[in-house]
Amino acid sequence: MSGGSTKRRHIEVPGSSQSSTQGKLDRFRGRWRIVCAALLWSTSGFFVKSHWFDSWPIETRGIQLAFWRCLFAGLFLLPLVRRPRWSWRLVPAGLFFLAMNVTYLTAMTSTTAANAIWLQYTAPMWVLFIGVGFFKETATRADHWMIGLCMLGVLVIVSCEVCAALVLGYSFEGIVWGVIGGISFAGVILSMRTLRDLDSLWMVTWCMLTTAVALGPYVVWTNQWPSTPQWMPLVLFGVAQLGVGYVLFAMGVRSISGHEASGILLLEPILVPIWVFVAWRNSPGYTPPAIWTIVGGGFILVGLLIRYVPRGMGRDLFWHRAK
């Protein structure tokens, strides 16, 4: 103070309107990054069910696609890693990630895209089973609803597929791979819980490159290499569908809760069969989802919505006003 006058300096405090507005804007951007990640991840069926890879044997196609997708995604993410740090906990994470990719893509090549993605999205049910049974975690009423509805959905899909296999001679191999895919996805989630102290991009890059290294010898042994028209779809499958999706997801979860992110990611299983229908419905090999898949997937979706979608998320996602 000088000359009898007082200069007032504006200081932004955490509770100020400017700080509150910035926080709302960050959460708004975070939600839309998760939406974009879900949209990219939902295109997996578009690539797997395409005619580009019809020349690859159906028995090995899932493993080959898993190798090339993880290889290109890992190479894309590697330059973005800033804080790599080794931990023995990365070993089980890499093994579960390997199993998840192989089983999911094998299931998608062997059954409908809807069956594969909905059975994989039973992972939260398996995570809760393990958390309550082995780690003595507390289950809420929403958890109980999720378990009941997810189990009902799995029962509808699996039982009807087995009946169709016995009566009509269909193969239910893809359903078996889908169930295993959901369990292995749960292993990835549980492993990543123990790796919260590591950089998320480093952790994901490690898992992708580990999967590529593990599957590389098998791909060499099959001696089935991509043809010229297949290279671009494979690069896009790895970089755009998986790699860019993980970058957006990692950016998005910095400003919103894990539960809210999980709720937004439910766009993925809804959109997977839609993209396949839009792109390949006129293809000779296209198989639409059976009515029991729609019913079972509906039960699983409702259970996950009850568990993960916060109140008012739809309003906050599509509308933002700076006060």
| pLDDT tens for each residue of 142-194 | 888 988 999 999 999 999 988 888 776 667 788 899 999 999 998 988 888 88
What residues have CB less than 8 Å from 220, skipping those under 6 apart?
none
Report residue 135's pLDDT band, with 50, 70 and 90 as the boundaries.
confident
pLDDT of residue 287: 86
pLDDT tens for each residue of 197-217: 888 889 999 999 999 999 999
Question: pTM for the whole thing?
Answer: 0.84
192 and 203 in contact (C-beta within 8 Å)? yes
**What percent of the chain clears pLDDT 90, i.e. is strictly above it?**
51
Segment of 13-27, 115-129, 236-250 carrying the highest mean pLDDT: 236-250
CA distances to 22, 202, 252 from 206, rounded to whole Å, are: 33, 6, 20
CA-wise closest residue to 108 among 155, 62, 77: 62
Tell me the C-alpha distance between 24 and 43, whole Å: 30
**What are the tokens at 21?**
């507005």
* pLDDT tens profile 32-73: 998 999 999 999 999 999 999 999 998 899 999 999 999 999
Q: How confident is the model at residue 313 (pLDDT cuts 50, 70, 90)?
A: low
CA distances from 138 to 20, 130, 143, 144 (A): 33, 11, 9, 11
Q: 73, 75, 173: which is closest to 65 by C-alpha?
A: 73
Question: Contact at 8 Å (CB) between 267 and 42?
Answer: yes
8 in helix, strand or coil?
A: coil
Name 227's Cβ contacts closer than 8 Å, sequence gap at least 6. 55
Domain map (residue ranges) of the chain: 36-318
pLDDT by residue (tens digit) across 94-119? 999 999 999 999 999 988 889 999 99
Q: What token pair was written down for 192? A: 């990543």
Angle between helix 90-110 and helix 200-222 axes, rounded to 10 deg:
50
